[in-house]
């Protein structure tokens, strides 16, 4: 049996106005799962990520990391195991630092950070050239460029590399290609899939692109009003049609 990396048990988040933005959710994220996450705006997708990452605390229920109850562990204490990429290219990278400096900084995830990291030797630069080249968007020729001067696609590719530089036990991708033009978005999606697959990452990826959600990953979940309304994997996922998926959006 594959073990769960993260488990949500009857997880609830009720906000001050009384809304249940996470509604008694049960979810086992298994080691090696690549889960695509769908749902209308406001369905609770980012809330699910916040609950897992510890940015929002549960009103009721539990979060487990393996067998360990981490419900009361802070977001900072969870950064060691969780990598996250957001929709906004401005998040996740330090704009005044170069690409190489950002990558070096990301190697200290979960440790104390210095303001400007030291230790950028030739061996490191060669390694960064190799990993940035895999993103296929010329980022390898921008190692000395400030992150703030990159294109949106390059900056998201950098955010992705930073989130995975120290292999996270769980990678959370929150519409990380949504702010990019269609061609750049497709290109980053391809690179993402390659990295997740080759490095055997366990990942959740929120997307509004139905075809990406069906095409990538081994499992697909749909959220509605803080609940999981569909959870399919493998063969059942492969057999989904766009028409069927759309029904879940009409709830
Ligand atoms: N910290 C919060 N306080 C109050 N309401 C919140 C908070 N975070 C999210 N919400 C509400 O919860 C619902 C789900 O939000 P979210 O998870 O961001 O949706 P999405 O599926 O679009 O990512 C929305 O109605 C949103 O306004
Ligand atoms: Mg969201």
213, 238, 208, 210: which is closest to 35 by C-alpha?
Answer: 213
Residue 113 has pLDDT above 60, yes or no: no
- pTM to 2 decimal places: 0.95
Q: What is the percentage of the chain residues whose pLDDT exceeds 90?
A: 91
Distance 181 CA to ligand 2 centre (A): 19
Tell me which of 13, 16, 21, 57 to substitute to probe ligand 1's pocket, judged by most ligand atoms within 8 Å of the beta carbon: 21
As a whole number, mean pLDDT of residues 49-72 equals 98
As a whole number, mean pLDDT of residues 195-219 equals 96
To the nearest 5 percent, what fractions of the chain are helix, strand and coil?
A: 35, 25, 40
Distance 58 CA to ligand 1 centre (A): 14
- pLDDT of 108: 84
Over the stretch 137-162, which tens digit does the pLDDT of each residue have? 999 999 999 999 999 999 999 999 99
**Going by DSSP bridges, is the β-strand pair 219-224/227-233 parallel, antiparallel, or unpaired?**
antiparallel
- pLDDT of 250: 65
- pLDDT of 115: 59
* Residues, CB-to-ion distance under 5 Å, ligand 2: 45-46
Please report the atom of ligand 1 found closest to the CA of residue 174: 23
What's the mean pLDDT when you consider all of the chain?
A: 94
Tell me which of 17, 38, 44 to substitute to probe ligand 1's pocket, judged by most ligand atoms within 8 Å of the beta carbon: 44
CB-based pocket (< 6 A), ligand 1: 15, 21, 39, 41-47, 56
Neighbours of 178 (CB within 10 A): 15
204 and 85 Cβ atoms separated by less than 8 Å? no
Over the stretch 73-100, which tens digit does the pLDDT of each residue have? 999 999 989 999 999 999 989 999 999 9
Lowest-pLDDT choice from 108-112, 156-160, 190-194, 236-240: 108-112
CA of 175, nearest ligand number: 2
φ and ψ of 74, to 5 deg: -70, 165
């Amino acid at each position: 049996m594959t073990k769960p990396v993260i488990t949500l048990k009857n997880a609830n988040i009720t906000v001050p106005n009384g809304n249940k933005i996470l509604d008694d959710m049960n979810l086992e994220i298994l080691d090696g799962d690549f889960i695509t996450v769908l749902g209308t705006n406001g369905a609770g997708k980012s809330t699910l990520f916040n609950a897992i990452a510890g940015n929002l605390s549960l009103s009721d229920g539990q979060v487990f990391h393996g067998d360990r109850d981490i419900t009361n562990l802070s977001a900072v204490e969870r950064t060691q195991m969780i990598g996250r990429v957001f929709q906004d290219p401005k998040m996740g990278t330090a704009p005044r630092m170069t690409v190489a400096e950002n990558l070096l900084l990301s190697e200290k995830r979960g440790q104390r950070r210095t303001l400007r990291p030291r230790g950028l030797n030739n061996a490191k630069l060669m390694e960064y050239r190799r990993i940035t080249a895999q993103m296929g968007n010329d980022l390898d020729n921008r190692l000395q460029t400030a992150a703030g001067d990159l294109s949106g696609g390059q900056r998201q590719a950098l955010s992705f590399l930073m989130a995975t530089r120290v292999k996270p036990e769980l990678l959370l991708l929150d519409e990380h290609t949504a702010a990019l033009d269609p061609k750049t978005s497709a290109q980053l999606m391809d690179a993402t899939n390659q990295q997740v697959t080759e490095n055997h990452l366990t990942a959740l990826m929120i997307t509004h692109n139905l075809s990406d959600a069906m095409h990538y990953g081994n499992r697909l979940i749909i959220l509605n009003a803080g609940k999981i309304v569909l959870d399919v994997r493998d063969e059942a996922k492969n057999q989904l049609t766009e028409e069927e998926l759309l029904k879940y959006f009409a709830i």
